[in-house]
A and B are shown apart, each in its own frame.
Chain A
Amino acid sequence: MIRRVWQLLLSVRTALVLILLLAAATLVGTLVIQAPAVVPLAGPDRDAWLDKVRPRFGVWTDALALIGVFNVFRTWWYEALLGALALSVSACSIHRARTLWRESYRPHLRLAASMFERPTAAAATTTARLETAVASLRRALARRGYRVVAVERDGVTHVYADRHRLARFGTLLSHLSLVLLLVAAGIGTQVRWDDDAFVVPEGSTRDVGLDGLAVRADSFVAEYYPTGEPKDYRSDLVLYRGGAEVGRKTIRVNDPLEYDGVRFYQSFFGPSAQMRVTDASGRRVYDDGVALAWRVDGDRPAGSLSLDGTGLTAYVVAPSTGGQGDVLIRPGEMRVELYRSGSSAPLASGNVTQGGEIELGGLRFAFVRERQFTGLRVARDPTVPLIWTASVLFVLGLSAVFALPYRRLWARLAVADAGARVAALTVGRREGDDEVAEIVREAATAVSKE
């Protein structure tokens, strides 16, 4: 049983089938709309997403969802295909390593005489003596960069020659680096940490939730071309760990801040409101930016602030960004709604203009000024260097195999009636026969000229 599985894994036919299956599955995942990664594979969010595509797929929707067509790259069968491929490549590599080693370092130096009678062999006779023929064959081979080994047995000289035998290990290298890549990527999905929506208002500091890191955004700038198309997004960031500054950088879309394997990428942005909240005794309950990173009814940017020690949460809502004005909240205003934490009925609400104040539920809310927030993606994936290593090795190995094609050649030189007979052949799937014939011809003519 184990033998059978091993044999199956070794077969290039299996490799072909696995690769084609993977291509087909990947194609399905390319053609059919895929649920975003943030939508879980089950639960209400999933059902809501399915309802969105239901008009397009009709009665088939649930069946397609069941077999994973809407999340091909997260299904067990896609992972199983990748796993089988990794196993198969490993098995092949282990198996091929022995053959490669033997063929490179312990090649068969002699072939049976009958092999040289095959139609693929090339042969020529010359009037020169056997030793002269051997010498000129050696020259013809050496000129083409072959390594040559000659042995004599019973008056017959057997020549073995090969070229680029080291480059041949490139196949092994590229297959093994593919395994490394798959394994590293697999580990990566387990150990990577990331936050796609880490939001910091200008002038505020926020905890990352990783390694005691915190980020302060000093400013965010969005620049546009005169045509209105975006030109540059950048944030001035200061990074703290345990309260001490450990890094500082102006990040841009292609230029993240990196610290100790954690990277901060410029990702998105939006409005924020600088708010100051004081209670009846004059104590500051809140004095910080509020990122208006959500959208509520009518395309209004909104955010929340929890008020220390009061058990209350306030929502700050900006005027609608959807085209024709906002009747509820005018430009330059923010609406503040006060809730008891965990409840959905507002205690109080009202609008406040920039620089103004409003009293709600016994608290004074000052809208100091409007600013922006920067949206960052924070990621740490210790397997990334392995991915690049595997990629480089894959391309190097493959380039070696293809640019320096391996070739082997056997020749048999024997005394013939009027001189010597040179016969040679090559084996292998690549075309080399023309070259073999040429080498034989060259050896034979060089000899006869003497």
Chain B
Amino acid sequence: MDKMSQYMLVAALIALALASVFYVWETFGRRTLAARAVTAGGPGAQVAVADADGSGKYASLLLWNGLAFLTLWMIFRAVYTGHGPFSNMHEFAAAFAWGIVAAYTYVELRTRVRAIGAIVVPAALAVLWYASTISPDARPLVPALQNNLLLTVHVAVSIVAYGTFAVSFGAAVLYLLRERVPAGILPDARVLDEVGYRSITVGFPFMALVIILGALWADVAWGRYWGWDPKETASLVTWLIYGAYLHARTLRGWKGDRSAALLVLGFGAVLFTYFGNLFFGGLHSYAGIGR
């Protein structure tokens, strides 16, 4: 099982690496070249923007493969360790990559917009690459982590939240880029804004749940639901930034670029919270990051 899960991880890495190349090429390569040709008025240029040479389809196919391999990784890993992916940074990071890929796949199927993948898929690849550099040693769980149900739900919910946050990040980056690239490459600003917002309508309540479940667990394990532990306060910062976004989006002067900037900032906070174990000690630095 251990071997199998390692193979799956490598397969997922390869699939996502190839998918990244195709996604980036599709948006910033082929479409950009085609759009330039349009501006230059070359013959058939109009057709080139609209008509894919298939790179988009390959991008999606590779992405689905990546998702399948990551899902298998999770199953094999869970069978091998006997619990969910929460005992060390390796498992955390790979599960995070799964969340990003799953959330993005869903959005792509719903919206049929591939451009966001040019940001999100490389981000997922980076996270998975990071996971692969950390020792996957399955170490036994220390007593505080031996509450499987609460912990599994806590981590599962956080993977959903962080996955949707990654998608909103991708949409926001493109939103901010939309005036710096030739017209016709990126989806409509309205679509990008909508994808960013919709992701947060899922991510924000889920993030609230993450914090609440964490508090519940702290209450059961340590007798206090909130202790201003750095991991707790970092997730609070993340949640507050997205809360700010939800209000900003309704305000004149904050709609649009500034709201998108908040989404980018929010994802920065997500990364900080997720990988925070590396920087801060405290109760959450339980299982360590291996060697």
Known: A253-B146, A377-B222. A402 touches B201 (CB 8 A): yes
Q: Does A229 contact B (CB under 8 A)?
A: yes
| Contact pattern, A 367-395, Cβ under 8 Å of B = 1, otherwise 0 | 00000000001110100100110010011
The number of residues on chain A lying at the interface, defined by a beta carbon within 8 Å of a beta carbon of chain B, is 47
Contacts of A34 in B (CB 8 A): 228
Report yes or no: A16 in contact with B222, Cβ–Cβ below 8 A. Answer: no
Report yes or no: A395 in contact with B237, Cβ–Cβ below 8 A. Answer: no
Give A387-425 interface residues, CB cut-off 8 Å to B: 387-388, 391, 394-395, 398-399, 402
Q: Does B4 contact A (CB under 8 A)?
A: no
Known: A23-B240, A229-B142. A395 touches B205 (CB 8 A): yes
Contacts of B202 in A (CB 8 A): 402
Report yes or no: A395 in contact with B240, Cβ–Cβ below 8 A. Answer: no
Known: A227-B139, A402-B201. A26 touches B236 (CB 8 A): yes
Contact of B220 among A15, A26, A254, A395 (CB under 8 A): A254
Report yes or no: B223 in contact with A230, Cβ–Cβ below 8 A. Answer: no
User: How many Å lie between the Cα of A381 and that of B142 in the bound state?
Assistant: 27
Q: Does A252 contact B (CB under 8 A)?
A: yes
Contacts of A22 in B (CB 8 A): 240
Contacts of B215 in A (CB 8 A): 387, 391
Report yes or no: A429 in contact with B250, Cβ–Cβ below 8 A. Answer: yes
Q: Does B14 contact A (CB under 8 A)?
A: no
| Contact pattern, A 1-22, Cβ under 8 Å of B = 1, otherwise 0 | 0000000000011011001101
Q: Does B224 contact A (CB under 8 A)?
A: yes
Shortest beta-carbon distance, A104 to chain B, in Å? 19
Contact size class for B? 35 or more
Q: Does A30 contact B (CB under 8 A)?
A: yes
Report yes or no: B222 in contact with A265, Cβ–Cβ below 8 A. Answer: yes
Contacts of B194 in A (CB 8 A): 431
Report yes or no: A26 in contact with B140, Cβ–Cβ below 8 A. Answer: no
Contacts of A29 in B (CB 8 A): 228, 233
Report yes or no: A395 in contact with B208, Cβ–Cβ below 8 A. Answer: yes
Q: Does B248 contact A (CB under 8 A)?
A: yes
Report yes or no: A15 in contact with B230, Cβ–Cβ below 8 A. Answer: no
Q: Does A27 contact B (CB under 8 A)?
A: yes
Contacts of B216 in A (CB 8 A): 388
| Contact pattern, A 218-257, Cβ under 8 Å of B = 1, otherwise 0 | 0000000101011111000000000000000000111110
Q: Does A263 contact B (CB under 8 A)?
A: yes
Report yes or no: A252 in contact with B244, Cβ–Cβ below 8 A. Answer: no
Interface of B is mostly: helix
Contacts of B227 in A (CB 8 A): 37
Report yes or no: A256 in contact with B220, Cβ–Cβ below 8 A. Answer: yes
Contacts of B142 in A (CB 8 A): 229-230
User: How many Å lie between the Cα of A335 and that of B249 in the bound state?
Assistant: 69
Report yes or no: A431 in contact with B190, Cβ–Cβ below 8 A. Answer: yes
Contact of A254 among B144, B228, B236, B237 (CB under 8 A): B144
Q: Does A267 contact B (CB under 8 A)?
A: yes
Known: A16-B244, A254-B221, A256-B220. A391 touches B140 (CB 8 A): no
Report yes or no: A379 in contact with B228, Cβ–Cβ below 8 A. Answer: no
Most A CB within 10 A of own CB, among B194, B204, B225: B225
Q: Does B226 contact A (CB under 8 A)?
A: yes
Contact of B143 among A15, A232, A377, A379 (CB under 8 A): A232
User: How many Å lie between the Cα of A185 and that of B208 in the bound state?
Assistant: 16
User: How many Å lie between the Cα of A398 and that of B209 in the bound state?
Assistant: 11
User: How many Å lie between the Cα of A437 and that of B59 in the bound state?
Assistant: 33
Contact of A387 among B139, B208, B220, B225 (CB under 8 A): B225
Report yes or no: B143 in contact with A16, Cβ–Cβ below 8 A. Answer: no
Shortest beta-carbon distance, A449 to chain B, in Å? 30
Report yes or no: A23 in contact with B241, Cβ–Cβ below 8 A. Answer: yes
Shortest beta-carbon distance, A224 to chain B, in Å? 9
Give B130-149 interface residues, CB cut-off 8 Å to A: 139-140, 142-144, 146-147
Q: Does B212 contact A (CB under 8 A)?
A: yes
Report yes or no: B146 in contact with A391, Cβ–Cβ below 8 A. Answer: no
Contacts of B251 in A (CB 8 A): 12-13, 16
Q: Does B219 contact A (CB under 8 A)?
A: yes
Known: A265-B223, A377-B223. A254 touches B143 (CB 8 A): yes
Which A residue's beta carbon lies closest to that of B282?
Answer: A34
User: How many Å lie between the Cα of A398 and that of B224 in the bound state?
Assistant: 25
Which B residue's beta carbon lies closest to that of A20?
Answer: B244
User: How many Å lie between the Cα of A19 and that of B194 in the bound state?
Assistant: 23
Contacts of A315 in B (CB 8 A): none
CB within 8 Å of A: which residues of B? 139-140, 142-144, 146-147, 190, 194, 201-202, 204-205, 208-209, 212, 215-216, 219-228, 230, 233-234, 236-237, 240-241, 243-244, 247-251, 254, 276, 280
Which 9 residue pairs are nearest across A and B when measured between Cβ atoms?
Answer: A402-B201, A253-B143, A23-B240, A379-B223, A265-B223, A254-B147, A391-B212, A30-B233, A19-B244
List 7 contacting pairs A-B, 8 Å CB cutoff, sorted by A: A12-B247, A30-B276, A254-B143, A265-B221, A377-B222, A384-B219, A402-B201
